[in-house]
Structure 1
Amino acid sequence: MSRFLTPDVYTEEVPLLPQSVAEVSTAVPAFIGYTEKTEKNGESIKNVVYRISTLLEFKEAFGGAQPASFRVNVNEEVIENVEVTAPQHTLYHAIDLYFKNGGGDCYVISVGSYQDEPNKTSFLEGLEVLSKEDEPTLIMLGEAARLDAVDYHEVCQMALNQCQELKDRFCIFDIQNENEGVASFRNGIGTNNLKYGAAYTPYLQTSLTYKYQEESVIISGSSGQETIQLKVEEAIKIVYNGSAQDEPKATINKGSAGTPSFNNTGTTLTITNVGEGISANAVVDAWNSFDDKGDFDIVVLDGTATVESFTGSRNLTTTGGDGASLRLSDIKESQSELYNRVVNEVSKQRIILPPSAAVAGAYATTDRERGVWKAPANVSLNGVIAPVKKITSKDQERLNVDSDNGKSINAIRGFVGKGTLIWGARTLDGNDNEWRYVPVRRLFNMIEESTKKASQFAVFESNDAVTWLKVKAMIESFLYGIWQQGGLAGATEEQAYFVNIGLGKTMTQEDILNGRMIAEIGLAAVRPAEFIILKFSHKLQEA
């Protein structure tokens, strides 16, 4: 109480409004994985929790995507197929897919560079670092799905343990992309803390393209020929049947107009007396009379076409062959038409990713537009062409309801005219009536964390009716707002929630003597309409 000692006019501000509860963020994922760079400005950012808001910020801090490699099989200049060796580290693409699906601010923990092999220890260290950060609410382990099943499941168990200890976060898991992935996951994840996680399957064929370098695109085939075309494309083609590693060349000297002559040094074929206007047939006729052909050959493309005068040397490039290959960069100038076709085919290859990144983006979008109490399901995914495996309603029965141990798995399915949708909203604890649904668990996480932070003001305050009233009014006001938005079930406030606090209600005299102030909060959480049943019957004619 103020003491007034000097005669004067004094003003005082009397607080009348109660403390308020600020709603914490609900969809702030933390991605753990490997990045191109683990240093920034000369300082290590490995195992450092780094907050980003855009993909550009990720690129500035951690670099770009790990390049893929390709083998393009070409037979007689016809592209037969493209084989992709996907990169083993896909965190960059996962972040990209997350933002494409409406994701907002997130955290990234780099546990190594692209030169490192994925290993369990790195992910466990990343989880340990994450446990010291307060804001993240979703744990993302998409890259860990590349570990072997035993190691991956152990990492998932440790993530669930962290959720149980901190009670402010939730795990989004991927079912590994293998034939027995679902059964393996259910057997390996254990039975502890299942209410803090949800699993999704199958993997997704995304619209994202691979990053690559021209040197990592190998062109090979079954023709066994390495070819180069002279200046007149319709006339002749010089063929070398050895290996591209010999770096064969064709040198053309104009010389005097007459019968072409040839000299073969093993890897260089020199043609002399190629006069202006000489026909392709004339060149090949002279070639057929030459004895020392070695691995070279000359093929007629159009016998009546003329070979213009050309003086110079060219490297031969290849369209493939057993043991004969070249890189995309080798044909960029010499065979621009084939180069463009190969680039076009490579750009058609799309990345396959675990679904968790896209699901996290859907969580963020749903929370922002509808609220954390809305099930993040029946939501269309962006940047996704289709699931890699088609799941039918019959297949999903076994995923949604597990008669053995109740571990529900959420399906991602493609629907005609709708696209790819998340078609499930269950936690791993599918047999628990309280924590069966993802939005119920995450709603309680949000309310618990929000009220916990807001109640900090009461620490060391007098444990009496005045403080109890402030705390109760603060929490009731917060829950009333959630109820008005549709986050709690009930036609009246009394049906939707209650807050009890006080001596004889939630505390005994011993509690007060021991410094405990106990508030009891009850919530009627809304649950998703998972099964909509429409019953029809015949109405008999009455007149």
Structure 2
Amino acid sequence: MPTYTAPGVYVEEVPSSQKSLSAAATAIAAFVGFTEVAPTDDPSDPEGTKPRLVTSWTQFEELYGGFVNGYMLPLSVYGYFQNGGSIAYIVRIPNTEPSNEPSTVALPAADRALGTPVTIESIDPGSPISVVIRSAESDEEGPSPFDLDVLLNGTQVESFDNLTLSPGDRNIATVVNATSTKVKVKLDLKDDVDLANMIEVMKPGTYPLVAPAPLPVPVTGKKFTGSETARTGINGLSIADEVTMVIVPDLVTAATRPDGTIDLAMWKAVQTALIGHCELQGNRMAVLDAPPGMSVQQIKEWRSDVAMYDSAFAALYYPWIKVENPAGTNGQSEVFVPPSGHVAGVWARTDDTRGVWKAPANDTIRGCLDIERPITKNEQSLLNPIGINCIRPFGTRGIRIWGARTLSSDSDWRYVNVRRLFNMVETTILDGTQWAVFEPNDVGLWEGVTRTLNAFLGGLWQDGALFGASPEEAFYVKCDAETNPPASIDEGRLVVEVGIAPVKPAEFVIFRISQQKQVAS
């Protein structure tokens, strides 16, 4: 309490014992896989493996490049934003290494008959070098000499004047190769070339040296799993607290053997690591893809006898979907992709339009042209009970996600929306009640926490997130002397019991219709 020693008027600010809670974000995805290039925005991360936030496809292209033949992550990220996603983290898995071959460029001649007589090679592989050809002034008759500048990262580091293609002291290969520490010159002139009758020999301009394509390297399941300490792979997402969905679309790229078959052992190992990460974090779900090319019987047997996942923090989708191939590679205008990225976008769209408590199902997938194989109602009756969410075509109603189950055997956590609702509520309470730490553990604190949680949960009930005709039926908050006995207070604990009744989806809509007999009046 303040001490007043002089007469006057005083104003005191009294902190409120009730705080407001804002619902935690629910639609932030994380993608783990392969990209065209590594981002260069962080000098301390030259391989670009640490998680980076992107909020649009344009921003993704600026950091990671565009579509690449065989890479699923760019297609999945594109589908995520296309279907309503707005925030995503990208975790790049390195899958190539430099070839250690020099960068090269062929310099064109001014006369097309000469073609490209000069080839420039870098001495150090991968050096960011460009060369500039400039016309040089000369009073002598015959071919005009030219100047050559060597640029490293855009800065001139070497310059050679009055060069020619003709034999002699100023021949470009003779001069440059004798003194340059950055480049070498190879000269390729045809025997019947008449340089004496040419005025301008080389075409002026700036020509960057092009590095050879990097060499692919095998990617193991361990690389996908990554390291929390090194901030790589799936485990590197531990620093991204707000992530709520994790997708690994390039699992198929790494797990495909040279003969085209899928390494199902690797498939299971990576997905198991992904599920374990989500369970450990407790605030996110794994959006899993079924292996490609499987029939209904095969996916049923794989799910039941091989994968055997049992987790409320994972959802599995089948089959793969066909989308437009933006890269247009291999002459294919369409390509099959794992559905997880597009499904995550639908999750985000549902959260935005309806709320996280609405099951992300019975909604169309934007950009989906077809599915890998059609699923009948009877076939889905075999897959739905074991937690395989099917994607099915419905004629004029489009291609829809027709399942909303997790991979949990516990009926309390059977539905995706229930698990995600609890994730949101738990995260909101965790983040929004930090003010209570080190406060006096007395009745005033208990009542303040109770009012705060009642206001938040009451708002959820009014929005339709909780089941019940009244707030008392929908939730309860208990924080009193019963939950906080003296022994618990002495240990520095504040114990609050919270119970909520989540709404569950009407998965089976049944109309009972009977024939009413007409009775004479």
Task: Provide TM-score, normalisation by structure 1.
Answer: 0.68
Measured against aligned partners, the alpha-carbon deviations of 1:97-135 in whole angstroms (never above 9, x if no partner) come to 111111111110111156344431221011110122201
CA distance in 2, matches of 1:62, 1:186: 37
In structure 2, list runs of 5 or more residues that go unmatched. Answer: 97-215, 227-232, 256-262
CA distance in 2, matches of 1:95, 1:178: 22
Give secondary structure in 2 for the equivalent of 1:131.
helix
| 2:25 match | 25
1:42 Cα deviation after fit: 6.9
1:191 Cα deviation after fit: 4.5
Q: Does residue 1:124 correspond to 2:225, yes or no?
A: yes
1:16 Cα deviation after fit: 4.3
8 A Cα contact 1:36 1:113, kept in partner = no
1:159 Cα deviation after fit: 1.7
1:182 Cα deviation after fit: 4.1
Measured against aligned partners, the alpha-carbon deviations of 1:450-501 in whole angstroms (never above 9, x if no partner) come to 0011111111111111111111111110000000000000001100000001
User: Which of 319, 341, 347 matches 1:357?
Assistant: 341
Q: Does residue 1:210 correspond to 2:212, yes or no?
A: no
In structure 1, list runs of 5 or more residues that go unmatched. Answer: 69-86, 218-345, 402-406
Larger-gyration structure (1/2): 1
Q: Does residue 1:498 correspond to 2:459, yes or no?
A: no
Q: Does residue 1:108 correspond to 2:90, yes or no?
A: yes
Matches within 5 A, 1:182-261: 182-192=300-310, 194-212=311-329
Structure 1 ranges of 4+ moved more than 6 A: none
Which range is displaced more, 8-17 or 30-39?
8-17
8 A Cα contact 1:201 1:410, kept in partner = yes
Give secondary structure in 2 for the equivalent of 1:2.
coil
Measured against aligned partners, the alpha-carbon deviations of 1:126-179 in whole angstroms (never above 9, x if no partner) come to 111012220101011121134221112111112222222221111110001133
Matches within 5 A, 1:110-509: 110-113=92-95, 115-125=216-226, 126-146=233-253, 147=255, 148-179=263-294, 180-192=298-310, 194-212=311-329, 346=331, 349-401=333-385, 407-429=386-408, 431-504=409-482, 506-509=483-486
Measured against aligned partners, the alpha-carbon deviations of 1:35-77 in whole angstroms (never above 9, x if no partner) come to 11124147325321100011010010011111x4xxxxxxxxx
8 A Cα contact 1:36 1:64, kept in partner = yes
Distance 1:197 1:41, change over 3 A: closer
Give secondary structure in 1 for the equivalent of 2:286.
strand
1:384 Cα deviation after fit: 0.6
CA distance in 2, matches of 1:113, 1:93: 17
Distance 1:50 1:42, change over 3 A: closer
User: Which of 504, 518, 536 matches 2:495?
Assistant: 518
1:11 Cα deviation after fit: 1.3
Aligned length: 382
8 A Cα contact 1:118 1:144, kept in partner = no
Percent of matched pairs sharing the same residue: 34
CA distance in 2, matches of 1:140, 1:32: 6
Distance 1:113 1:58, change over 3 A: farther
8 A Cα contact 2:244 2:285, kept in partner = yes
Quick one: which amino acid aligns to residue 522 of structure 1? G
Give secondary structure in 1 for the equivalent of 2:427.
helix
Which range is displaced more, 470-479 or 151-160?
151-160
Give secondary structure in 1 for the equivalent of 2:94.
strand
CA distance in 1, matches of 2:470, 2:335: 50
Task: Provide TM-score, normalisation by structure 2.
Answer: 0.71
CA distance in 2, matches of 1:17, 1:45: 49
| 2:54 match | 52
Measured against aligned partners, the alpha-carbon deviations of 1:410-445 in whole angstroms (never above 9, x if no partner) come to 00000110111000000011x422000000010001
| 2:72 match | 90
Distance 1:42 1:468, change over 3 A: closer
Which range is displaced more, 518-527 or 125-134?
125-134
RMSD, aligned α-carbons: 1.7
Q: Does residue 1:38 correspond to 2:38, yes or no?
A: yes
